[in-house]
Structures are given as structure tokens and as C-alpha cells.
Chain A
Amino acid sequence: MDTALLVETVIKIVVILLVFSALAGFGTYFERKVLAFMQRRLGPMNVGPYGLLQIAADGIKLFTKEDIIPAGVVPLIFKIAPVITAATAFMAAAAIPFLPSFTIFGYEVHPIVADINIGILYVMGMMAVGLYGPLLGGLASNNKYSLISTARAVAVFISYEVVSGLAILAPLMMVGSLSLLDINDYQAGGITHWIAFSQPVAFILFWIAAFAETGRTPFHLIANDHELIDGFGTEYSGMRWGLFFIGEYANMFFISFVMAIMFLGGYGDGSVAGAFALLGKVAFFFFFFLWTRAAWPDVRPDQLMWLTWKVLMPLAVINVVITGFVLMF
């Protein structure tokens, strides 16, 4: 392993960490603004022009707030749980190609930290590990609301892992590779080659599962404020709570990237236009997360389970079987 590669990788990791930490912050700002405009109000306006510095204010508040470890919790687990959420969210980013490769100062840069040939599997796995944050946080909190939230988290994630896994199976059978780069190149031929058109069922199923896995409305159950106060986050304060938050928003971004690359052609042929198109697609998916939050109520946990096991999973299985037959004959 040569030193150049090591340096390059470290730089990439640092850049991704910085960019997406900042984006997670801006994500909250976007969310508040988008929701505000949909709800006929202004949103943050007081800190900086159009409230742009609100995230800085929030950040300062979160960082300087007292870190309270309540009595009766399991201290060590309680402390590391938020770190797991944030860390795994960023670890998942290692296998995502954020942009097509480009040349800078005569040096070719691949904007992907580790081009492992099972990229999508790795991303899904890491996002699954991310669940340990809410899980451990909820169990260690010594709070009944956190406990219910944990139970919901386990049920929701296990169910939706199945749906998202089965949903991407069909496109993967078509592509014949688990590498996100290969998947992107498969669709390089333009808009007609997008997997979303050849696998519409898989696309929609994965999209629904993405809502469940990131815990967004209408599947905002794990930390449903009206029922569970803040779920697993009830006992957290300050930056530890902030880490959960960053993890959640980073996850939203990454899953948007995955969806854009998997189903909407990614960055296409790798041109500059393709790169911007990828960012546009990601922005659309992110916006869609906010849009549903403004438009829809939440479902009930048992309805969510019903939806998974009685509707989505059979659909996903049928989709896989049909894809298999089509590919075979």
C-alpha cells in the first residue's frame, strides 16, 4: 500500500466528514425553511440573513450545553450510543461514489473512499449497524418511553431491512454486480437506461423502505414526539443528542445518494452535467423527505408492520421472481 493512496484516502475521509457534517447542519436549516414555507410562516429569520446563521447558533448551543448523564442509566452504553449512530452513518459513506472521477492538478481523483466491489451491500450493512445507536441509547436510558422506542426501532428496522434488501435484489440481478460504480455505469446510456424505468416496483419499494429506515414521516415512529416524547433521545441532552441528529440527517443524505445512483442513473456518463444531475437528484430525494413531513400524518406502528409483511414484502418477492424469469428466458 503506497503512501500516496493512504494520504489520498485520508484527505477524502476528512473532506467527506466535513462536507456532510456541515450538510447535516444545513439539512436542518433546509428542513425548517422548507417546512416553514409550506406552512405559511417564515422559519428561522433572526440569526443572520434569512436565519442562515441559525445552524451556527444551534451548534454552539448543542456543544456548550451541559452533558447530563441521568441517574440509573448504564453510563458507558449511554455515552457511546450516539457515537455509533453518527459514526456508522459516515462509515456507510465510504462506498458511495459522490461524484464522477475528475482530474485536478494532473492527478485523477475518484470521489469514493473505498471502491469495494460489494459497495451496496456494505452501505446497507453499515446503515443496519447504525440502528445500534437508537437501540443501545433506548435500552440504556432507563426510561420507559425510550424502551418502547427501542422496541419499535427493532421491529421497524428488521422489517424494512427485509424490504429494502429484497427490493434491490432485482436490479442487482440485472446489473450483475454489487459495486455502486458498476450500477452507475450500467445506466450510463442516458435517461432511458435508468433502472427506475425497468424496475419501477423495486424503486418504489426501496423508496418506502428508505423512509422507514431513516425514520421520517409518515414512518416517524421511533422518536414520535406526540407519543414517545423523543423516543430513544428523551434522556439525552447537548451534543450527545446532537450526534443522533447529525447521524439521522447524514443518513438521509446518503440514502438519497444511494437511491439516485441505484435507480435514477447516478452521474451518468461522468460528465460535468452528469455530476450536477446527480446532485440535483439527491436534492430532489432530500426535498421529498421534507415534503412528506409537511403533507402527511404518521402511521401507527402496527399499520407499518402490516404494510411491510402483508404488502411490501410479497410484492418485493414477486418482483424478484419475475425479474429472475425475465432474465433467464
Chain B
Amino acid sequence: MFEAIAFYTFSFLTILMFSITVMTSQALYALTAMAAGMIFISAFFFMLSADFLGAIQIIVYTGAVMALYAFGMMFFDTTREVKEKIQNKNIVFVLGTMVALLVVAIFMAPVVSENIHALYPIQEGLGNTEQVGIVLFTKYLIPFELAAIMLLSAMISGIVLAGKKMDNSLTLMADEEIELMQEANEKVNS
């Protein structure tokens, strides 16, 4: 019974939160609701005894949404409402509906179909964490490593793009270097 109550409560909350994310025109509400929705989703993992995935859901999405916040801060005055420019409402409506239908179809497929078997069935006696590990490092090894390489390259390019001035730390530079840099700056300024 508890499980049913918890399930419906969290379902309601999750849907509500994501609805707010979509409906509101206030950036701060949207971001907050999205973060809350992501955290409520983790409740389903906990209910399914997938503790590891639940915790990971929280950690990863708090970080991800945090980065979104950072962008939000840069682009909008978060205390004001964002004015959206929608040129053709029909296109938005049609595309939105189609995407929604597609998503429903994708997620309904496993429910409707009955021929789905787990290739790596749950092994008794092992914890949740270990099972995730086994699957990751056997069946999904190549996608996993590819994702890792992709992230690494993204990180490096990020550093290259953002970190051009990262080495100029006045506290770590020798006096001569600072003077050189100041001279260079003066030249630019004058």
C-alpha cells in the first residue's frame, strides 16, 4: 500500500514539476521545477530498489541543472519573466505533439511487447552497485568507453576555449612577468 501511495504521489509531483518547467515563462521557476522533477524521478529508482541509480540520478542531475542555472544567470535577469518570440504557433504545436507521440510510442513498446528478455539477468547475491558495474563493463563496454572519450574531448575543448587566460595568476607570477604583462596591457589600453 505504501508503495502505491508513494508511486502516485511522486508521479503526480514529477508530472506537475515538468509541466511547470514547460508552461512557465519565468526562468527561475522553470529551472527550479526541472531540478525538483529530476530529484522526484529518483524516488522511482529507490522504490524499485535501484538505490545506486537513484543516488546517481540525484547527483548527476543536480550538477547538470546547476550548470543550466549558470547559463540562466548569464543570459537572463532571473527575477523577470522571459519574453519568448514565437513566430508561428502552429509549427510549435504540431512539432510538440509529434515529439510527444513519438516518446509515448517508444516507451509504450516494451510495455505492450511481451517478448523482451534481459540478456544479463539479475544475479542473486550481488548488490545494486555491482550489477550496474557488471553490465557497464560487459555488454555496454564500448558505448561506455566512447561516452568517456567524448566527455574527455569535450572537457579538453572547453578548457582550450575558456582557459586562454588561466595561467595569468598574479600571485604565482614572478615580478618581471607581471611587469611585462602590465606593459602589454598598457599598450593595448593606450
Contacts and interface: CB of A to CB of B under 8 A. Distances in A.
Nearest to A306: B169
- Secondary structure at the A interface, as helix, strand, loop or mixed, is helix
A154 B79 contact: no
A132 interface: yes
A74 B27 CA distance: 10
A73 B55 contact: no
A122 B50 CA distance: 12
A77 B55 contact: no
B24 to A, nearest CB: 11
B32 interface: yes
A69 to B, nearest CB: 13
Interface stretch (A134-142, A216-224, A244-252, A283-291): A134-142
A73 B54 CA distance: 33
B78 interface: yes
Interface string A137-158: 0011010000100110010011
Among B51, B52, B171, the most chain A Cβ lie within 10 Å of the Cβ of B51
A131 B58 CA distance: 12
A154 B69 contact: yes
B70 A151 contact: yes
Contact of A121 (B55, B62, B66, B127): B55
A118 B55 CA distance: 8
B11 interface: no
B97 interface: no
B2 interface: yes
B29 interface: yes
A121 B35 contact: no
A76 B62 contact: no
A125 B70 contact: no
A129 B58 contact: yes
A124 B60 CA distance: 11
Contacts of B127: 117, 177
Contacts of B28: 74, 77, 136, 139-140
A121 B56 CA distance: 8
Interface residues of B, number: 31
A74 B78 contact: yes
Contacts of B79: 72-74, 139-140, 142
A140 B59 contact: no
Contacts of B172: 306
Contact of A178 (B29, B35, B72, B129): B129
A164 to B, nearest CB: 11
Interface string B34-48: 010001000000100
A77 B171 contact: no
Contact of A77 (B29, B39, B59, B73): B29
A72 B78 CA distance: 11
Contacts of A303: 169, 171
Contacts of B52: 118, 121, 178
Contact of A118 (B51, B62, B169): B51
A125 B62 contact: yes
Interface in B140-176: 169, 171-172
A116 B63 CA distance: 22
Interface string A203-223: 000000000000000000000
A128 interface: yes
B66 A131 contact: yes
Contacts of A243: none
A121 B59 contact: yes
Nearest to B39: A129
A135 B69 contact: yes
Contacts of A74: 26, 28-29, 78-79
A328 interface: no
A147 B69 CA distance: 12
9 contacts: A74-B29, A77-B32, A118-B54, A118-B128, A118-B129, A125-B58, A129-B58, A150-B73, A158-B67
Given A129-B39, A135-B69, 18 more contacts: A74-B26, A74-B29, A117-B127, A117-B128, A118-B54, A121-B52, A121-B56, A125-B62, A128-B59, A129-B58, A129-B62, A136-B28, A136-B32, A140-B79, A151-B70, A161-B63, A178-B129, A303-B171
Interface of A: 1, 72-74, 76-77, 116-118, 121-122, 124-126, 128-129, 131-132, 135-136, 139-140, 142, 147, 150-151, 154, 157-158, 161, 177-178, 302-303, 306
Interface of B: 2, 26, 28-29, 32, 35, 39, 46, 51-52, 54-56, 58-59, 62-63, 66-67, 69-70, 72-73, 78-79, 127-129, 169, 171-172
